[in-house]
Structure 1
C-alpha cells in the first residue's frame, strides 16, 4: 500500500520566493538577456538578469524606435497574397514615408502603417490597447516638416499590464521618426 503513495511535485524555490507585486522583476527581451554585463562572474543574481517595470518601458521604447526607423518592403508586397511574408522579419519596419509617397498620404494612412508595423512586430504591446494619434505642435511655424504623434498602449506584464505612452515625431523630409519623450504612468 505504501508503494502507491504520491509524492508532492517539486516546488520551484525561486518562483516560491518571488513575490507577485507591481514592482516585481520581469524578464527582458532575448537580446537583452544574451548581453553579458559581467562576463567574469559565473553566476548572476535574479536582479541582474530581470528588469523592473521602468526598465521594461525603456526597452519597449528603444525597440519601438528601432522598428519605426526601419524601412520595410511593405510597398513591394501583396499582403493578402503573401500574409506570412508581410508579417515576417523580411518586412520589419514601416513603409517608406519620405518624398512623393508621403505627399499623397493622409494622417489616416500614416496612422494605419505605423499601427500595422507595431501590431506585426511589437508583441509586448496589447493590440486592442494601441492608439496612434496626432499631436498638435504648440509652435507650428518651427515644425512645418514634422508630423508629431504619440503611441499609447498597454504592455503585456504580470501581474497586470503596464501603461505605455511615447511622444514621437516624423520628419517628412528624411522619413526619420524620433521618440521625443515618454510619460511615466
Structure 2
C-alpha cells in the first residue's frame, strides 16, 4: 500500500520531531526482546581497541533503547500491542466515567469497548467507529496523529456473528513514517478479536 502524500504541515511536524520520538520502542518490548534473546544470561564482554584499551559491548536491550528497531520489528511490536489492546475490555464498559474525563483517556481505561453484546448494526455505527479510533489513538502513541482510518465490514457468509475491522495508519519511524494496514475479525458472540498480520 503506497503511503499517502504528506501535506506541508505534516512535513513540518515530521522535520521537527526529535530523534528519540522517531525511533520509538516500548520499554516492555525491550525487556521482552531481552528475554527472548536470553540477554540477561550472557556475561558482559569487551571489545579490544587498537590502542590497547577496551570498550564494553552493548547488550541487545541497550542497542534497542539507543537506536530503536528496524521497520519489520516495529510492525511486529505494534501488531502485538494492538492485539492486546483490542482484546482487553476497557474500564468504562463497566463503570461510568462521565465525571472523570482524565481517567477516561488514561491508561486506567486501557482497552476496547465490550463488543460481545453489540449487534452488527451497532458495530457499524459512526459512534462505535469513533470510539475504536479514540482507543487506538489514546493507547498507541506510535501512530502518527491524524493518519488513522477505521472501517468495519460484515464477513460474507456469516453476517450474524462476525465483522471485520480494517485499520490503516502511519507509524512514527526513522527516517520516514511507515504506512501500515491491519485487519481483524471480531466474534460478536464472545467479543474476541483476532488481528491478522499487517500489510505494507
Q: Normalising to structure 1: TM-score of the pair?
A: 0.74
Q: Gaps spanning 5+ residues in structure 1: where?
A: 1-24
Residue aligning to 2:181: 165
What CA distance in whole angstroms lies between the structure 2 residues aligned with 1:85 and 1:123?
Answer: 17
Residue aligning to 1:29: 26
Q: How far apart are 1:182 and its partner, in Å?
A: 1.7
Q: How far apart are 1:89 and its partner, in Å?
A: 1.6
Match of 1:58 among 76, 80, 85: 76
Check conservation: 1:26, 1:53, Cα contact below 8 A: no
* Pairing 1:69–2:84 present: no
Distance 1:94 1:112, change over 3 A: same
Q: Normalising to structure 2: TM-score of the pair?
A: 0.69
Q: Over aligned residues, Cα RMSD in angstroms? A: 2.4
Residue aligning to 1:112: 130
**Does 1 or 2 have the higher relative contact order (CA < 8 Å, sep 6+)?**
2
Larger Rg: 1
Residue aligning to 1:174: 190
Runs of 4+ in 1 over 6 A off after TM superposition: none
* Pairing 1:44–2:63 present: no
Structure 1, residues 119-162: CA drift from partner, whole Å, max 9, x if none?
A: 1101110230000012454xx11454110121110111122211
Q: Gaps spanning 5+ residues in structure 2: where?
A: 1-21, 45-57
What CA distance in whole angstroms lies between the structure 1 residues aligned with 2:110 and 2:135?
Answer: 7
* Pairing 1:88–2:106 present: yes
**SS in structure 1 at match of 2:72:** helix
